[in-house]
Amino acid sequence: MAVRVEIISIGTLARNPFWGETGSVRPSHATTTLIRDGETNLLVDPSVPAELMAHRLDERVGLRPEQIDRVFLTSFRPVHRRSIALFKEAEWLLAEAEREAVNAHLNALVRGSDGGEIETSYEELSEELELLGRTQAAGDKLTPSVHLFPSPGVTPGSTALLIAEERTAIVAGDAIITREHYEQGRVFERCVNHDAARESFLAISEVADLIVPGHGNLFLADRQFE
């Protein structure tokens, strides 16, 4: 592949239901992927804390944070962006549908009009809105070879990335959260719309040769689902 896809940090779940775990046994973090297309360094879902993220970048690919050109979030869930502030010089990108949904949700919480009990302080909501405001709506293509692949369901605007070369690789985010979920044909339990999540799961499974799941290592896509 002319485009290089490299796993910077392999994610994990706090509780993996396929490992017989009934409660949280470890900190959850998302898989962080680097996509190198020509001169562009695109980092996806910087999840681990900043100091560890900088170390992993150096350890895996010999890059410094300032050498990352763009950061893309497959969703705005906090676990996908723990160390985004490390990349001050990069563009921060989020799918427009996710950005709009998060903005509407946060503003509803600020107004107290979401209909639920507010567990987040006004200061925390303001910080979230400020961080969201720092992001930009991503276009259909992030580089010549990297395309957005909308995959709603886990969140309203969850979006995977498709790299179409000799083999089709998809950085799936939480649309396919682990290899075990893929093998069992199951979507992530924590989704806002199960039917949409299922459709996204099937769409990725149908076109991908390689999948980077939201919380696991890259694997070959070798299953057919109904």
Mean pLDDT of 200-206: 96
Q: How confident is the model at residue 23 (pLDDT cuts 50, 70, 90)?
A: confident
- Report the pLDDT value the prediction gives residue 120, as an integer from 0 to 100: 66
pLDDT-derived band of residue 226, with 50, 70 and 90 as boundaries? low
In a domain? residue 226: no
pLDDT value at position 179? 95
Res. 208: pLDDT tops 80: yes
% of the chain at pLDDT higher than 70 = 95
pLDDT average, residue stretch 173-181: 96
CATH at residue 169: 3.60.15.10
The DSSP-derived string for the chain is --SEEEEEE--B-SS-GGGT--S--S--B--EEEEEETTEEEEE---S-HHHHHHHHHHHH---GGG--EEEESS--GGG-TTGGG-TTSEEEE-HHHHHHHHHHHHHHHHT-SSS---S-HHHHHHHHHHHHHSEE--SEEETTEEEEE-TTSSTT-EEEEEESSSEEEEEETTS--HHHHHHT---SS-S-HHHHHHHHHHHHHH-SEEEETTS--EE------
How many C-beta neighbours within 10 Å does residue 19 have? 10
Average pLDDT over residues 6-14: 96
How many structural domains does the chain have?
Answer: 1
Tell whether the model's pLDDT for residue 123 goes beyond 90: no
pLDDT band at 117 (very low <50, low <70, confident <90, very high): very low
What pLDDT does residue 119 have?
Answer: 59
Q: What pLDDT was estimated at residue 225?
A: 67
What is the per-residue pLDDT for 98?
Answer: 97
Q: Domain of residue 160: give its range.
A: 4-15+27-220
* 68-95 average pLDDT score: 97
In this structure, is residue 225 part of a structural domain? no
Type of residue at 81: R
pLDDT-derived band at 113 (thresholds 50, 70, 90) equals: low
* Domain membership flag for residue 99: yes
Bigger pLDDT: 96 or 111?
96
The answer to the question of residue 107 being in a domain is: yes
Contacts (Cβ under 8 Å, ≥6 apart) of 138: 72, 93, 94, 95, 96, 148, 159
Q: pLDDT band for position 88 (50/70/90)? A: very high
Mean pLDDT calculated for residue range 153-175: 95
pLDDT > 90: what percent of the chain?
81
Residue 125 lies in a domain: yes
85 within domain boundaries: yes
- Give CA–CA dist 142/17, Å, rounded: 34
**pLDDT tens-digit map of 129-143:** 999 999 999 999 999
124 found inside a domain: yes
pTM for the structure as a whole? 0.93
pLDDT digits (tens, 9 = 90+) for 47-70: 999 999 999 999 999 999 999 999
For residue 22, being part of any structural domain is answered with no
